[in-house]
Chain A
């Protein structure tokens, strides 16, 4: 066996292999028919197999998606820009077989699939669901915040009626509760295994589940070398959805985008997840490589003038900024045209679609008019802050903004803030006078976006914006059903105020780029992580 080309290798039988390699390699030749193993590369690192743990990074959320089940999941629809996307408007069963919601909207009753089992063969029961939900609302940090968004806050709300019946009691009816059960956070853990590995100091088995998942999901973790690779192996007894095509998925971490690009172009890997816009634009012209650029739902790259600072209290200054932005140049330079434009929309707001184009466009004459009408006609100086962690789009954007604002007499100095300090400076302390920001909401409703980004004191309202009417409209619409006749007028009014007051000036809707070579079936998810379950070999 001198040839170690991967394809040849996978076809070989286990007999020729060295004894030291057996535990891992034995498994590959067993399903060695080519097309049973997918190799994907990503630049991000997975730092935990437990989403609930403090310090778990975003890239690790995919383990919750691929290895665990939730009660429900979202449907599938064709995505803008090709490929598939999850469908926020359709809720599908995953571990729950069916569910009912009481007339007052306060009690949700879930029937679990009777044949659902964990990887160790034990049955998935309502007690497991309760334990998992109790954990999510108790451990604090991000999972608890996300659960709260759906009105899930206290363990008393969750009742295991019998082995297959699980009940959630809500304080108030909310359209966000059911979708919030389909986000990665409320995943269902094998509570017997977890409890057996819990200690008094660690009642939720955080240490154990950090490295050893115990779920019922479509894939098990066959190997995890942190900083190097994660190997998924299919769970053939999965009942949460159609059985995945690949028996094994190897996810390698390759930090350098240039290396990832060489790998996908050569076809040695079948998928490169989350590639830079530039590579996406160039790779899409290559034979054999398919690139999916899906605009990220409910996410907008914005310029935020902070209303806590004097020049930006003046509405004319904010409008002058909005008219001075070279939108098209930024979209082409910083995003390579990937994503969706968010400028030059109609003045009239006819529907509740979000994100939507703002009525502003590049118009220096208008910008100068507004500037002259403001109290700062002679211009001013202000730092324009960007995050080094997001420099790939923020830096070119900031340079173009700097040039344009200079024409208005707004002299900006670009302040680059290290990634670790960015959150604190921009979102927690909200102390950046003029900065770029890119909030995206997991739950795809406009009111949810406004809740996080336009309400005073909320994390992503980095402009310190406060408007009494916005506060009231968001509170009223947040839990209201979207088909309620009162809903649309409230949302339209919110849009009007947002575009009039401009605490966030929309630039463009970013895209998530994925390149495939030899594989198909990619599906975009709002969590922007790799769902390996629907992937299959490309038919060519």
Chain B
């Protein structure tokens, strides 16, 4: 059984290789296919033909496309993602500093979202048609129908501007704190590791509003999926059998129904995580969050090839990893594959 599982994991990883190779080629070609001339852009406001040509040569964009591609792949093989012209830093360093910011925000938001959405979905499913069900429906409809930047601005307006209970929406940490020594890049974890609770609370406070904003947005798919899956599970034969056998309500609900219902919820969660990580750029802008979404958008706007390619590649790797984790989570949860 164990070796089967290991084989499955290895198999899944092998399947990911062509995907990554494809992403490398496509991201390279797509960035080149974008209209816009980075050389003209980076040559500055008063550039002449000659100075644009100089810049083009300095960026290596005067070489044939095939040669540029092999140079890029050669660099990639050595783990070098290139240098982002727009920031002047190695792309790997940029990603390393910004990806954790986005991940921290997204993960906290999803935890928050799950903590509300799954119980809400279960409650709604066990009492269909009651006020709990209606409340659930209203909440998720409201959450998903308001764009994130709007929710974000409303939250800032109410909790920061009017009530003054939230801290200044100035990114991950107010300027009076120094970021904790980087271990994971997650401020909450790093500050805890350093035992620096002052900064930990500072980071948490900054995190609350953006996380709530994102959580409100991701509430809907999770709660709806939980409700639907629970309804289906509760009406299935094995639950009827379990009830007929006289099992306790809690055992039936949480031991059998929920465990089965979690499978589609986990799938949804994976998808929600993926799109949230990419789509939280608006939240990042509103809360001045130095995340990966705003980095990618800024790089795209100025046709910064290396940065865009690095971003696409990092996201692809992340999703491959995420799907792997979800597959493994399936194996743990699905009673048909389960160990017990």
Flag the segment in B12-20, B250-258, B266-274, B280-288 that touches A. Answer: B280-288
Closest to A49 in B: B88
Cβ contact within 8 Å between A54 and B55:
yes
Beta-carbon contact of A227 and B161 below 8 Å = no
Cβ–Cβ < 8 Å partners of B58 in chain A:
54, 140
- For residue B236, CB closer than 8 A to chain A, the reply is no
What 1/0 mask marks residues of chain B from 47 to 67 whose CB sits below 8 Å from any chain A CB? 110011011001100000000
* Min C-beta distance of B64 to chain A, whole Å: 20
Q: Indicate which residue in B34, B180, B286, B290 contacts A20 across the interface (CB closer than 8 Å).
A: B180
Q: How far, in angstroms, from A21 to B195 measured CA to CA in the complex?
A: 11
Q: Which of B164, B202, B298 contacts A4 (CB under 8 A)?
A: B202
Number of residues in A with C-beta < 8 Å to the partner? Answer: 64
B36 and A420: CB pair below 8 A? yes
Inter-chain contact A228/B290, CB cutoff 8 Å: yes
B50–chain A nearest beta-carbon distance, Å: 8
Interface stretch (choices A75-83, A106-114, A257-265): A257-265
- The answer to whether A28 and B176 touch (CB under 8 A), given A18-B199, A255-B285, A255-B288, is yes
Q: Name A256's closest neighbour in chain B (CB-CB).
A: B286
B contact residues, total (Cβ < 8 Å):
70
Residue A452 is within 8 A (CB to CB) of chain B in the complex: yes
With known contacts A47-B88, A262-B161, A141–B51 Cβ distance under 8 A: yes
Give the residue of B51, B170, B197 whose beta carbon is less than 8 angstroms from that of A254: B170
Tell me which of A121-129, A162-170, A421-429, A529-537 binds B. Answer: A421-429
Question: Which of A4, A145, A211, A262 contacts B176, CB < 8 Å?
Answer: A4
Q: A45-B298, A262-B157, A420-B303 are in contact. Are A459 and B46 (CB under 8 A)?
A: yes
Q: Which residue of A28, A142, A226, A421 is within 8 Å of B45 (Cβ)?
A: A142
Residues in A whose Cβ lies below 8 Å from that of B177:
21, 25
Contact indicator A144/B196 (Cβ below 8 Å): no
Q: Does any Cβ of A come within 8 Å of B77's Cβ?
A: no
In A317-364, the 8 Å CB interface with B consists of none
User: B25 near A: Cβ within 8 Å?
Assistant: no
Q: A227-B295, A228-B171, A420-B36 are in contact. Are A262 and B88 (CB under 8 A)?
A: no
- Verify B42–A54 contact, CB threshold 8 A: yes
Q: How many A-B residue pairs lie within 8 Å, measured between CB atoms?
A: 181
B161-A266 in contact (CB<8A): yes
Determine the residue in chain A with the shortest Cβ distance to B295. Answer: A227
- Return chain B residues, CB-CB under 8 Å to A211: 88
Nearest B residue to A457 by beta-carbon distance?
A: B49
CB <8 Å contact, B156 and A259: yes
A94 at the interface (CB under 8 A from B): no
Interface string of A485-510 (1 = CB under 8 A from B): 00000000000000000000000000
Partner of B196, one of A21, A53, A141, A418: A21
Chain A residues, Cβ within 8 Å of B194: 18, 20
Q: Which residues of A contact B284 (CB under 8 A)?
A: 255
Q: Are A47 and B87 in contact (CB under 8 A)?
A: yes
Chain B hits for A420, CB < 8 A: 34-36, 38, 41, 300-303
Say yes or no: is B22 at the interface (Cβ < 8 Å to chain A): no
**Complex CA–CA separation, A187 to B76 (angstroms):** 37
B43 within 8 A of A: yes
Interface residue ranges of B120-155 to A (CB < 8 Å) = 149, 153
The residue of chain A having its C-beta at the shortest distance from the C-beta of B164 within the complex is A266
Q: Is A309 an interface residue (CB 8 A)?
A: no
Given A45-B298, A227-B290, A262-B169; 20 other pairs, CB 8 A cutoff: A1-B198, A18-B194, A21-B199, A25-B177, A47-B88, A48-B88, A54-B59, A140-B55, A141-B51, A149-B46, A225-B290, A226-B87, A226-B89, A250-B175, A263-B170, A266-B160, A389-B301, A418-B35, A420-B38, A424-B37
